[in-house]
């Protein structure tokens, strides 16, 4: 019997060759490489890639040329497709709920009959599991978050741009005046919105290295052992956290709407700071600009932006705002991990019926009811 098909989106793998060989031994790999949306749609309609059971995208920079994964694309996927494992932490570009609702309860006998040892007692399930790779870039994002937190307390952006300007007056201005308006983060409260893997790692670094107090808000309270490991205080209401935090860090996935609206930003502690390493659309940038201009907030650090790749001109002109080009998770280690975790998700799913890092499992369960 022929092996089941995995559709590999984008470039060749670069690092995890032994694991890829394992994948090849159990699946037939077909490639889309990097094609436009119209070409990809035509390929799906013509069944050019066959009845693939999984999609694998090992890199963030390629394999996504078809654009957002919405109903137009998802409705064209073969009923055989059961899992999409992609690089990257964010998934605001893919309708994970629509994936979960896709198709019918497809029988997995195609896998049972192939050389791949899928457990025969695993029930058929509807929908496509989407797996991200946030776990692979946790360390890199956490390190960048620490840089942004430090920058909001110590005005590193002001100092750096003054030095790079080659202007003697600007250098002297920074040299003489920064000390009067900056602080060490030790003892200040860091309020984390979203204490997932990345938020938790940031909390570990901030509490251990800088002695910061940890507050957090999430849709559910963490177990006691997790809270105690970072001496964290839970705030059930977001506005309560905002009022108490000296620096608020946004580390929650984008769920379709802003987390920090103008009304929320108005409730932030006066003179506090804001850092965003999640998604730009989580924050009302106009309200952020107004809060910085009024002094409600003293500084901000942003890796992500509302209208990427375009950066807000007002924020870019502010010396008390540190800006990055959405590179918090960008490191060789992250990309090695993206590659590996995607394959582990596919192999794990077809060995045990469970993926390693599913993000739409709750909707998969709903579609089974």
Phi–psi pair at 184, nearest 5 degrees: -80, 140
Which position among 170, 326, 351, 366 bears the catalytic label?
A: 326
For 221, the 3-state DSSP assignment is coil
One DSSP character per residue, 251-308 reads -----SS-SB-HHHHHTSPTTEEEEE-S-GGGB-HHHHHHHHHHTSEEEEEESS-TBT
Helix (H) or strand (E) run with residue 117 in it: none
- Check if the beta carbon of residue 292 is closer than 8 Å to that of residue 314: no
Residues 6+ apart with CB under 8 A from 46: none
Tell me if residue 176 is catalytic.
no
Tell me if residue 326 is catalytic.
yes
Tell me if residue 72 is catalytic.
no
Assign residue 244 a region (left: φ > 0; alpha: ψ between -120 and 50; beta: otherwise).
alpha
Cα–Cα distance measured from residue 251 to residue 263, given in angstroms and rounded to the nearest whole number: 19
- Check if the beta carbon of residue 82 is closer than 8 Å to that of residue 53: yes
Q: Which residue(s) pair with 8 in the sheet?
A: 31, 56
- Check if the beta carbon of residue 296 is closer than 8 Å to that of residue 270: yes
Residues 6+ apart with CB under 8 A from 219: none
Q: CA separation (Å) from 293 to 214, 266, 272, 297?
A: 27, 13, 13, 8
Which position among 8, 154, 279, 305 bears the catalytic label?
A: 279
Half-sphere exposure of 286 (CA within 13 A, CB side): 3
**DSSP-derived secondary structure letter, 66:** T
Helix (H) or strand (E) run with residue 8 in it: strand 5-9
Cα–Cα distance measured from residue 89 to residue 265, given in angstroms and rounded to the nearest whole number: 25
Annotated catalytic residues are 279, 308, 326
């Amino acid at each position: 019997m022929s092996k089941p098909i995995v559709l590999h989106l984008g470039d060749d793998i670069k690092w995890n060759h032994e694991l890829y060989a394992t994948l090849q031994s159990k699946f037939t790999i077909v490639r889309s490489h990097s094609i436009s949306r119209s070409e990809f749609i035509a390929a799906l309609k013509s069944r050019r890639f066959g009845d693939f059971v999984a999609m694998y995208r090992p890199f963030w920079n390629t394999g996504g040329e078809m654009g957002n994964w919405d109903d137009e694309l998802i409705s064209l996927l073969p009923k055989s497709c059961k899992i999409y494992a992609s690089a990257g932490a964010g998934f605001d570009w893919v309708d994970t709920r629509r994936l979960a609702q896709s198709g019918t309860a497809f029988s997995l006998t195609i896998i049972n009959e192939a050389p791949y040892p899928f457990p025969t007692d695993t029930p058929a399930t509807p929908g496509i599991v989407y797996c991200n790779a946030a776990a692979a870039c946790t360390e890199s994002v956490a390190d960048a978050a620490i840089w942004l937190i430090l920058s909001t307390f110590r005005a590193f952006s002001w100092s750096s741009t003054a030095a790079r300007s080659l202007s003697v007056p600007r250098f002297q201005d920074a040299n003489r005046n920064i000390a009067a308006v900056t602080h060490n983060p030790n003892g200040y409260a860091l309020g984390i919105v979203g204490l997932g893997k990345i938020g938790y790692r940031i909390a570990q670094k901030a509490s251990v290295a800088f002695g910061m107090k940890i507050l957090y808000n999430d849709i559910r309270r963490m177990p006691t052992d997790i809270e105690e490991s970072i001496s964290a205080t839970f705030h059930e209401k977001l506005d309560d956290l905002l009022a108490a935090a000296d620096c608020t860090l946004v580390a929650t996935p984008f769920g379709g709407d802003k987390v920090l609206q103008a009304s929320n930003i108005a409730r932030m502690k006066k003179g506090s700071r804001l850092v965003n390493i999640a998604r730009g659309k989580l924050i009302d940038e106009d309200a952020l600009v107004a809060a910085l201009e009024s002094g409600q907030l003293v500084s901000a650090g942003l890796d992500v932006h509302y209208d990427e790749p375009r950066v807000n001109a007002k924020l870019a002109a502010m010396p008390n705002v540190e800006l990055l080009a959405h590179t918090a998770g960008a490191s060789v280690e992250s990309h090695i991990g993206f590659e590996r975790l995607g394959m582990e998700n596919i192999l794990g799913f077809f060995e045990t019926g469970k993926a390693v890092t599913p993000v739409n499992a709750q909707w998969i369960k709903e579609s089974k009811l």
